[in-house]
Structure 1
Amino acid sequence: MKRIVIFASGSGTNAENLIKFFHNRETASVIQVLTNNPYAKVLERCKNLNVSALSFNRVAFSKSEDVLNILKSTKPDLIVLAGFLWKFPEFILKEFSNKVINIHPALLPKYGGKGMYGMHVHKAVVANKESETGITIHYVNENYDEGAIIFQAKCIVLPSDTSEDVASKIHKLEMEHFPKVVEKTLSE
């Protein structure tokens, strides 16, 4: 069985969706969730779902090998970023080459890069009067949102849509596609 470690920073709806999707599957299992936010709701979700979850600080993540050592000990087949906001250190990426993927709430390369996450993306999409947006699942490299694209799904943006409307459409795409794409990526 393949092993998945999730990194999250906030509420954890994508993490919960992945945990539930893989719960009774024979293909893979979410073995741990790591967060950079000790107050993240994802920690509560993990407790309720009986999944190991730990929080860490910036020193443990990028200035020491603490998080790297946790990953080495859990031996994940795939590391999934699900609303994780920090840039991944190159030394971790090197150790887990082509094993770190991310979901982004826009059709990259549009609306990617530092500071482009969550409602920041949706507000920009509405402000620029885009006719469509979507999600991008991609490999993580040393630059924000520039890794090779694995999958994209689109949705229409109506002229009357607010950023909250766009957020709701993106959330539906994430819930529908993310677990399936993770499973497919693990089988390749």
Structure 2
Amino acid sequence: MSKKKSPNTKKIVIFASGSGTNAENIIKYFQNSKNIEVVAVLSNRRSAGALKRAHDLNVKALLFDKEALYQTNDVLNVLKDMNPDIIVLAGFLWLFPSNIIQEFPDKIINIHPALLPKYGGKGMYGSRVHETVIEDKEKESGITIHYVNEKYDEGNTIFQATTGIENHDTAESLAAKIHDLEYRHFPEVIQQLLEKNN
């Protein structure tokens, strides 16, 4: 049973395309908050674990298709009804449409599993990022939390955290280090942004 929220509760909507571990982490982080709440998780993939995780945690889970996002205003209208204070992309792989970006200026953020501006852009997500970082023999990697604009991974940076890369690291071991950074920092940054905008 969740605690009663205040009438001024800040609302988070999460978009996710994959397993949803970041979405779950964010939902759990704010579960006992009296004034911040994840109100919905939206996904473009029926098989996305994010939908099941949201459902299991009693958070509204919504599936949509390309047409609803890009051609009709269905997703935009759902968001207008919810009126979120922040929209969080947590492993959402499609380019976000400009009509939603314009409707929610400076309220849409994304997390990227590398230190932007390096290793960003179309097609650079998940294991591809870590494999390329290892191939390039980088000494460090990390996460970038940034505002979303009309181009992949090019919005203004809000926060970065780094982790060292050892000679024995693989794409898999680097991914584990990056996940740790995501779980530790993403909810905190979301909270800071919401509290700053009070």
* TM exceeding 0.5: yes
| 2:17 maps to 1:9 | yes
Cross-structure match for 1:119: 127
Cross-structure match for 1:138: 146
Identity over aligned pairs, percent: 59
Per-residue Cα deviation, 1:36-92 (whole angstroms, up to 9, x for no partner): 001101111111101000110000001110000000000000000000000000011
**Which stretches in structure 2 are left out of the alignment for 5+ residues?**
1-8
CA distance in 2, matches of 1:7, 1:41: 12
Per-residue Cα deviation, 1:136-164 (whole angstroms, up to 9, x for no partner): 00000011000010000000011111000
Counterpart of 1:117 in structure 2: which amino acid? Y
* Mapping for residues 93-172 of structure 1, pairs under 5 Å: 93-172=101-180
CA distance in 2, matches of 1:60, 1:20: 28
The runs of at least 4 consecutive aligned structure 1 residues that moved more than 2 Å come to none
Counterpart among 189, 192, 195 of residue 184 in structure 1: 192
What is the DSSP-based 3-state SS (H/G/I as helix, E as strand, rest coil) of the residue aligned with 2:41? Answer: strand
TM-score, normalising length: structure 1: 0.99
What is the DSSP-based 3-state SS (H/G/I as helix, E as strand, rest coil) of the residue aligned with 2:22? Answer: helix
Counterpart of 2:166 in structure 1: which amino acid? L
CA distance in 2, matches of 1:66, 1:100: 18
TM-score, normalising length: structure 2: 0.94
Cross-structure match for 1:41: 49
What is the DSSP-based 3-state SS (H/G/I as helix, E as strand, rest coil) of the residue aligned with 2:80? Answer: helix
What is the DSSP-based 3-state SS (H/G/I as helix, E as strand, rest coil) of the residue aligned with 1:10? Answer: coil
CA distance in 2, matches of 1:25, 1:70: 24
* 1:27 shift after superposition: 3.2
What is the DSSP-based 3-state SS (H/G/I as helix, E as strand, rest coil) of the residue aligned with 1:178? Answer: helix
**Which stretches in structure 1 are left out of the alignment for 5+ residues?**
none
1:8/1:84 contact within 8 Å kept = yes
Q: How many residue pairs were aligned?
A: 188
CA distance in 1, matches of 2:146, 2:184: 16
Per-residue Cα deviation, 1:152-185 (whole angstroms, up to 9, x for no partner): 0000011111000100000000000000000001
Per-residue Cα deviation, 1:96-115 (whole angstroms, up to 9, x for no partner): 01000000000000000000
Counterpart among 177, 181, 187 of residue 173 in structure 1: 181
Cross-structure match for 1:74: 82
